[in-house]
Amino acid sequence: MLLERSAGAVVFSIKYSGNVFFLLLRYSAGHWDFPKGNIEDGEDEVQAACREIREETGIENVVFLEGFNKKVEYNYRRHRNVIHKEVVFFLAKTDSQRVILSNEHIAYSWTDFDSALAKLTYMTAKDILVKAQDYLKSRYIK
């Protein structure tokens, strides 16, 4: 089995209303997920997540919230190979809501918690969103 390691982040922004919006991307395979991508040689997980956010959304100014670091694992098939994938997700705040998509994705959406939960395709991603929301409620949002 081949192993793939990616890093990404639950990117959120707080609008004037004080409400939190999460950034989701629609992958060309059809699923909705957070920005993420493969960790390259010489990079650590945070550097990879930062680069992927920049490349996939055009957003440069993100602040990673301390202590949020969640891993998901899944298997998928590419041609004849089964790939085992591990993805670590951070939680990142931005004040830039303007998104410039790369050609890896077909849509993006800034959505509130309930819509994001409904939109995310995979249970693992929904679980990360719930954990991010819990973190924000307990430690960040008044």
Does 94 bind ligand ATP (CB under 6 A)? Our answer is no
Return all residues near 139 (Cβ < 8 A) that are at least 6 apart. Answer: 65
Tell me how far apart the alpha carbons of residues 114 and 135 are, in angstroms, rounded to a whole number: 16
Shorter beta-carbon distance to ligand ATP: residue 24 or 72? 72
- Smallest gap from Cβ 14 to ligand ATP, in A, equals 25
- Which of the residues 10 through 49 are near ligand ATP (CB under 6 A)? 27, 29, 31, 33, 36-38
Does 97 bind ligand ATP (CB under 6 A)? Our answer is no
Please report, to the nearest 10 degrees, the dihedral formed by the alpha carbons of residues 45, 48, 70, 125 taken in order. -160
Of 55, 124, 126, 135, the residue at the interface with ligand ATP (CB under 6 A) is 124
Of 125, 128, 129, 132, the residue at the interface with ligand ATP (CB under 6 A) is 125
- Which of the residues 46 through 85 are near ligand ATP (CB under 6 A)? 72, 74, 76, 85
b vs e for 91-130, b when ≥16 Cβ sit within 10 Å of the residue's Cβ? bbbbeeeebeeeeebeebebbebeebeebbeeebbeebbe
**Interface with ligand ATP (CB under 6 A):** 6, 27, 29, 31, 33, 36-38, 72, 74, 76, 85, 122, 124-125
